[in-house]
Amino acid sequence: MTDAAAPAPITLPISRALNAGMRRAMEESDRVLLMGEDIGRLGGVFRVTEGLQADFGERRVIDTPLAESAIVGTAIGLAMGGFRPVCEIQFDGFVFPAFDQITAQLAKLTYRHEGALQLPVVIRIPYGGHIGAVEHHQESPETYFTHTPGLRVVSPSTANDAYWMMQQAIASPDPVIFLEPKSRYWVKGEVDVAAPALPLHASRIVRRGTDVTLVAHGAMVATALQAAALAESEGTSVEVIDLRSLSPVDYGPILDSVRRTGRMVYAQEAPGFVSLGSEISATVMERAFYSLEAPVLRVSGFNTPFPPAKLEGVYLPDADRILEAVDRALAY
Amino acid sequence: MTPSEDPALVRVLAADGSLAHTAAAEPYLPIIEALSDADLERFYRDMAVIRAFDQQATNLQRQGQLALWPPSFGQEAAQVGSARAARPQDHLFPSYREHVVARIRGVDMLDIIRVMRGLTHGGWNPFDPKNGNTHLYTLVLGAQTLHATGLAMSMAFDGRCGTGDPERDEAVIVYYGDGASSQGDVHEAMVFAASYRTPEVFFLQNNQWAISVPVSTQSRTPLYRRGEGIGIPSIQVDGNDVLASYAVSRVALDEARAGEGPRAIEAMTYRMGAHTTSDDPTKYRTAEEEQSWALRDPIERMRLFLRGRGASDAFFADVEAEGRALADDVRVRTVALETLQTAQIFDNVYASPHPLVDEERAWLARYEASFEEGAS
């Protein structure tokens, strides 16, 4: 029996789920405001904020001048004044002008204030490849932010997570870097508007399997699922985990899975050297060493700048590259 | 090097302590004439007492009690004039040598000492009323101008300025230097301030040197004109003239609070000491230059002015005693400062629980306990 009073799930593309999540947070508190370049009348270059300025006004959805450091830096001041700003950085590669304000200011101010100040600022960054864009429009900067204490970093891969994680990030008393896998903006999924399935910082098994644990985040979760389906046709059972929270990492489901499968592969778009995959693989080897039948393997973008778009298909791991690693893990 | 004074510079007090105002100072004279003897003596006391503290802090660094000290020596008038112009409800964002600004607003000088002694990254709570809305020192040049602008935006968005009630209207004043004026953040802050008509005063202390780089390298034009280019009414004042600094700050803050948008002030002053105690200014500037500025000392100028108005020996003796008492008190309390608990390293990294921090806190406790067990 289902609860007749609960609203029925709806189907939305991820971009609209993010929009709906922000809308709900804005309806619940007039202290939530959005700020960024072109987010108002245009609705953002990806239209994620479409319609919100029309409904909430120019003071709640602010088209800012083009200055990333100022977007984040003034969001800090607005948070000091009791607002909950949600900043949009237009593209991943444009976040670097705001790097000091994010890593040296926003991340440290609660510590420097010895707890007297909370900074509930969300920074939305459309990130990652697969859209055939030009330079600075397809990057994966997550490691810079996960390396910085004081920041929380998350990335949803489904419409339901997009809807709920956005609201949870806005409600967080800490700054949250909210990485939106832009190649997935148009992928539809079911959104349960009644209640969140998971807390903001939980990882989740999205496909059960017994032979290899495959962990991924953001857009790579879909590629991982593709790889798992292909593996199944070849008789290999792959368990897929969506990290969801990049900092902190919820190790529980990952370690449990590795203890069952004995093998793990991490898949990411970002370059592999000193990356999320490196960190998680090191931790798994520290904590589940005697369960491992093979070293934890990483599949990643190459250690080069993100290439010209015509080469992104070579740079970005696909299901075949993931399966190659799965096979290597099984060969031990 | 001599300062690039613009004909528009506001000055009322000449270096010999006589009243000799520039043409640009004309509109400000009524504000200065309205100051009482007590106000004027207060300005002098503020400046002279902080200099005694500043000298003591420099000594403490030399004796190994502090890791670093950024002296305010020479910049007292710009700071006192602007801080005394602020109302209690205003917020002040210092950079890192606005010691007297903090003191005027109520911050315990020992809280600044703690920062420089390596006991804290902050040391005082800006939101505790006893600290007069004085925000923390910021060491990344110009970063605080954006925080100040954001807070001023919140005031504008919440209708906390421009209501017509000066007792209630709020404003922000943010301090930075000629070196910071080259930073992108300062320009971005000014653009946002102009865009959103923030109740805010950008207070630039041009002390002529960004460590070893002279202001002539930083700017081909007087720095206050940059504000004008962004659409912010801007003015240059003699920062070694506490009366002029007070008057222009008072007007700018009043206008900002009244909802007229941001204002910018360039206070022409001079860092008479080193940039910090790690610096050696003899490597990059001449004794002649330093001497020329010493002759325009803000405290001596005000002392001569007050003398001319008949201030008593007892007053000056009392100020000197207060400075000595503060310096002595700071010395005694500095060397008695507590040490930190190791577990504090993990406090307040996040506002809500974080598993990695919790794990490391627990690890350190176990690790430290293992030594205690070993010793018993």
In whole angstroms, give the CA distance from residue B144 to residue B146: 5
A235: left (phi over 0), alpha (psi -120 to 50) or beta: left
Question: pLDDT class for B2, splitting at 50, 70, 90?
Answer: very low
In whole angstroms, give the CA distance from residue A306 to residue B369: 48
> Judging by DSSP bridges, how do beta strands A245-247 and B91-93 pair with one another?
unpaired
In whole angstroms, give the CA distance from residue A28 to residue A166: 13
Q: Is the dihedral of CA A278, A93, A151, A101 positive or negative?
A: positive
Q: CA of B52: how far to CAs of A56, B205, B290, B327, in Å?
A: 54, 21, 20, 6
Q: How many CA within 13 A on the CB side of residue B1?
A: 15
- For chain B, the farthest-separated pair of C-alpha atoms sits apart, in whole angstroms, at 79
- Is the pLDDT score of B85 beyond 50? yes
In whole angstroms, give the CA distance from residue A88 to residue B327: 49
Q: Do B136 and A113 touch (CB under 8 A)?
A: yes
Q: What mean pLDDT do residues B85-89 have?
A: 98
> Judging by DSSP bridges, how do beta strands A245-247 and A212-216 pair with one another?
unpaired
* B356, closest residue in chain A (CA to CA): A248
Taking each helix axis from N to C end, the angle separating B143-157 and B184-196, rounded to the nearest 10 degrees, works out to 10
CB of B88 within 8 A of CB of B67?
Answer: no
Query: What pLDDT score does B6 carry?
Result: 75
Q: Give B119's contacts (C-beta < 8 A, 6+ positions apart).
A: B337, B338, B339, B340
CA dihedral (B231, B232, B236, B237) in degrees, to 10, reads 170
In whole angstroms, give the CA distance from residue A115 to residue A113: 5
Q: CA of B43: how far to CAs of A97, B61, B78, B105, B365, in Å?
A: 41, 27, 11, 14, 51
**Residue type at A148?**
T
Write out the residues of chain B at the interface with chain A, using a CB-CB cutoff of 8 A.
120-122, 125-128, 136, 140, 143, 145-155, 157-158, 184-185, 188-189, 191-192, 195, 347-352, 354-357
> Of A82, A100, A111, which is closest to B140 when you measure between CB atoms?
A100
- Is the pLDDT score of B4 beyond 90? no
Closest of B106, B74, B72 to residue B92, by C-alpha: B106
Q: ∠ CA B18-B10-B140 to the nearest 5 degrees?
A: 115
Query: What pLDDT score does B7 carry?
Result: 83
> Of A65, A79, A101, which is closest to B143 when you measure between CB atoms?
A101
- Is the pLDDT score of B374 beyond 80? no
pLDDT for B174-223, tens place per residue?
Answer: 999 999 999 999 999 999 999 999 999 999 999 999 999 999 999 999 99
- Is the pLDDT score of A300 beyond 50? yes
In whole angstroms, give the CA distance from residue B238 to residue A282: 60
Query: What pLDDT score does A282 carry?
Result: 98
Q: Do B146 and A69 touch (CB under 8 A)?
A: yes
User: What percent of chain A has pLDDT above 70?
Assistant: 99
Catalytic residue among A137, A147, A201, A217: A137
CB of B249 within 8 A of CB of B280?
Answer: no
The ipTM assigned to this model is 0.95
Give the number of other Cβ atoms within 10 Å of residue A286's Cβ: 8
- Is the pLDDT score of B315 beyond 90? yes
CB of A153 within 8 A of CB of A176?
Answer: yes
SS3 of B258, please? helix
- For chain A, the farthest-separated pair of C-alpha atoms sits apart, in whole angstroms, at 60
Distance from CA of B292 to the nearest CA of A (A): 38
Give the number of other Cβ atoms within 10 Å of residue A62's Cβ: 23
**DSSP code for B147:** H
- Tokens 């020329």 identify what position? B292
> How many residues in chain B?
376
Two structure tokens written together for B197 = 């008509």
The rounded mean pLDDT for chain A is: 97
Q: Do B191 and A67 touch (CB under 8 A)?
A: yes
Question: pLDDT class for A6, splitting at 50, 70, 90?
Answer: confident
Q: Do B154 and A108 touch (CB under 8 A)?
A: no
> Of B136, B192, B350, which is closest to A112 when you measure between CB atoms?
B136
Which residues in chain B touch residue A69, judged by CB atoms under 8 angstroms apart?
146, 184-185, 188
SS3 of A238, please? strand
In whole angstroms, give the CA distance from residue B89 to residue A217: 47
End-to-end CA distance of chain B: 67
User: Which helix (DSSP H) or strand (DSSP E) does residue A12 occupy?
Assistant: strand A10-13
Taking each helix axis from N to C end, the angle separating B313-335 and B37-62, rounded to the nearest 10 degrees, works out to 30
CB of B274 within 8 A of CB of B331?
Answer: no
Q: CA of B100: how far to CAs of A52, A217, B144, B220, B328, in Å?
A: 46, 51, 18, 31, 17
In whole angstroms, give the CA distance from residue A106 to residue B295: 43
Q: Give the residues across from A152 on adjacent strands.
A: A176
Q: What mean pLDDT do residues A178-199 have?
A: 97
Could you tell me where the beta strands, DSSP code E, fall in B148-216?
172-177, 200-206, 209-210, 213-214
Two structure tokens written together for A78 = 């607005």
pLDDT for B113-152, tens place per residue?
Answer: 999 999 999 989 999 999 999 999 999 999 999 999 999 9
In whole angstroms, give the CA distance from residue B132 to residue B100: 13
Query: What pLDDT score does B192 carry?
Result: 98
- Is the pLDDT score of B41 beyond 50? yes
In whole angstroms, give the CA distance from residue A25 to residue B38: 53
- Is the pLDDT score of B1 beyond 50? no
> Of B121, B148, B150, which is closest to A75 when you measure between CB atoms?
B150
pLDDT for A243-297, tens place per residue?
Answer: 999 999 999 999 999 999 999 999 999 999 999 999 999 999 999 999 999 999 9
Query: What pLDDT score does B327 carry?
Result: 98
Query: What pLDDT score does A2 carry?
Result: 52
Catalytic positions of B: 271, 275, 284
Two structure tokens written together for A206 = 């999205």
- Is the pLDDT score of A82 beyond 90? yes
The rounded mean pLDDT for chain B is: 96
Query: What pLDDT score does A286 carry?
Result: 97
